[in-house]
Chains A and B, each alone.
Chain A
Amino acid sequence: MKTGIKTVLFAALAVIGFFVPILLGASGAVYAACVLIAIFAVMSYGLDIVVSDLGEVSLAHTVFFAVGAYTTALLSASAGIGPVLSLAGAILMVLLVAAALGFVTLQLREFVFSLVTYAVAVVAATIAQNWDFLGGSDGLRGIPAFELSWLGFTARNDQELWPIAYLLLLVAIYLVSAFRRSKLGQAAMMVHLNQRLAVTSGVDPQRVRLQVFMVSAPITASAGWLYSYQRAYISADVLETYFLILMLTAVVVMGRRLLLGPLLGVALIQVQEKFFSFGGYVDKIILGSVLILTLAFLPNGLFGVVAPLRNLFTRRTTPVGKTIPERS
């Protein structure tokens, strides 16, 4: 497809996307689900570029999510700071955390990297539960409504928060697609697929990894930022394994390196949990099983199953087989 048509198509899709809650009946439950889908999709996009492009499994992204959420909660509830500055604060904070984590894990690869990032997530959970500054096991309450006073905009419920959530989602998707086209994105792929080639081409793998981390963390943290306004209170449960499994499943279920993959993955999971739930424990089993089965049996995700069908409908530009030479 030509780039021009593609841009128009994406723009049209972006406009239609905004009206999805209205098309689905505009009820409170629909708006609530859509806002959560947008937030969790943004959270997953952060992890997406680390898993799909860099090829490392970071299990510490729940920490980035939590850093975003807690920073926002502290800034807005205790210090009375508005959403724009709390977003800036959350991003600044998560960059510090990501830099520290990236620095420590710079030398580590594969499972040792994952192991350490997993341990970071567990330790962060114990700290959040025990540290009074973060509200301990009670969490932080009293996060004010999302209010941009200079625009006269206040979001008191999910319906009013939807434009913000949707905008955040579009920005995240744009960032991921821009990342994939950027030099850094291509360098990350090279490090992922062939580290030796990357090194001989003058790419420093450790630098690339650190940079990808620094791009990825703020995306996930900004989801935490909006989540704390949506929930109005934050506790240590933002560090639960649920978010980790949700992110990982969303990233792989549709197929890796598909721009809309994480969004569709999150939507699929959230619709099941919100509208076709079998109770918390069964939902856990379902979500975990989807993750297992996708990786074990569908290496290219659900899209990998559907994609070959597309070939049936594309017109061949060149004839199949050899052409019969004309007699002279």
Chain B
Amino acid sequence: MNFTQQLVNGIVLGHAYALIAIGWTVLLGVARLVNFGHGQMYMLGAFVTWYGVSRLELPYFVAIPLAMLAGVAVGYVMQRVMLQLTLKQDLVSIMIVTLGFGYVLHGAAALFFGSTGQILETPFSTKDIYWGDLWFTYQDIAIVIAAILFFAALKYVIDRTRIGRLARMVAEDPQLAQLAGVNVRRVYLGVFAFEGAAVALAAALVAPRTPILTSMGFDEVIITFVVVVLGGIGSVTGSYVAGLALGLFTAFFGAFVSPAYATAAAFAVLIAVLVIRPGGLAVSPGGRRA
């Protein structure tokens, strides 16, 4: 039945969205940083995985860490270049710099991987499951499981461990954290490296669902914006719920109204929320909502 099928699609899509947004959630909620190159980092993760699997003929499980490593490298370099801006908390410049990085990544990826579309095939994505009238792939199951595990682990690390406390402390008050002996630079570099790894992992898992293009980063990032803002900026649990809700919304909108305008519709939801409760979106550092 079409409705149940869309429900399944929506749940898978929702977990995919949440997974893609996880890096941003941490970046924003925990370190109060932004990254407009997020979409292009997603694209890079997808292409490195594709390159590993189809050109280097590596097993999928080796290609994923490879993509994550590339993500860590890009994230680290980005933060290293703009460290001074980060320490000054010059968000306006950080936004433009990350946008510039996204543009450079797009150019570099097109140069290296070519500008034609590719299909990333994994051992899971080619195996279908039929369950009554429902159809999905093992890749879909992998996405859902990975997203749930990742979110649970993240929630635990941020709330319960020393690393999480350090990151939250830096977000709350960088100067004070420095006085208390925290190596603020290292935390910022670490958070950005994490963002790179997280988005690359998401890309390696989610990208097999659709053809990949080096130009796809531009609109890919919108979904992340919507998830992060709807989830109550920086809240880990909120992002998960918002991702799931947005996935269901997009699946049903795409199936029953128009697939071409699904992104536009998701954005319309964002605008509606912003107009209805504009004051409720202030960032609370530390990822905890006031």
Contacts and interface: CB of A to CB of B under 8 A. Distances in A.
Interface of A: 51, 55-57, 59, 104-108, 110-112, 114-116, 118-120, 122-123, 125-127, 130, 241, 244-245, 248-249, 252, 280-285, 287-289, 291-292, 295-296, 299
A292 B81 contact: yes
Secondary structure class of chain B's binding surface, majority of residues: helix
Given A111-B34, A296-B85, A57 B92 contact: yes
B219 A55 contact: no
Interface stretch (B140-148, B151-159, B266-274): B266-274
Given A118-B36, A288-B101, A55 B264 contact: no
A63 B57 CA distance: 43
Contacts of B106: 241, 284
Nearest to B112: A281
A136 to B, nearest CB: 10
Given A281-B107, A296-B93, 8 more contacts: A112-B229, A118-B36, A285-B108, A288-B103, A292-B100, A295-B93, A295-B96, A296-B97
A288 B218 contact: no
B278 A292 contact: no
A118 B275 contact: no
B108 to A, nearest CB: 6
A115 B99 CA distance: 11
Interface in B217-237: 218-219, 221-222, 225-226, 229, 233
Nearest to A281: B111
A44 to B, nearest CB: 14
Interface residues of B, number: 43
Query: Of A120, A248, A285, which is in contact with the most chain B CB atoms at under 10 Å from its CB?
Result: A285
Given A57-B92, A122-B219, A245-B99, A108 B104 contact: no
A248 B96 contact: yes
Interface in B55-112: 81-82, 84-85, 91-93, 95-97, 99-104, 106-108, 110-111
19 contacts: A106-B278, A110-B91, A112-B274, A116-B271, A119-B225, A119-B270, A120-B267, A122-B219, A122-B263, A123-B222, A241-B102, A245-B103, A281-B108, A284-B110, A285-B111, A288-B103, A288-B107, A291-B97, A295-B93
B260 interface: yes
A326 B49 CA distance: 81
A116 B269 CA distance: 12
A284 B107 contact: yes
A289 B104 contact: yes
Interface in B229-260: 229, 233, 260
Contacts of A111: 34, 91, 95
Contacts of B233: 112
Given A248-B99, A285-B108, A127 B264 contact: yes
Contacts of B103: 241, 245, 284, 287-288, 291
B129 interface: no
A210 to B, nearest CB: 14
A126 B108 CA distance: 24
A284 B107 CA distance: 5
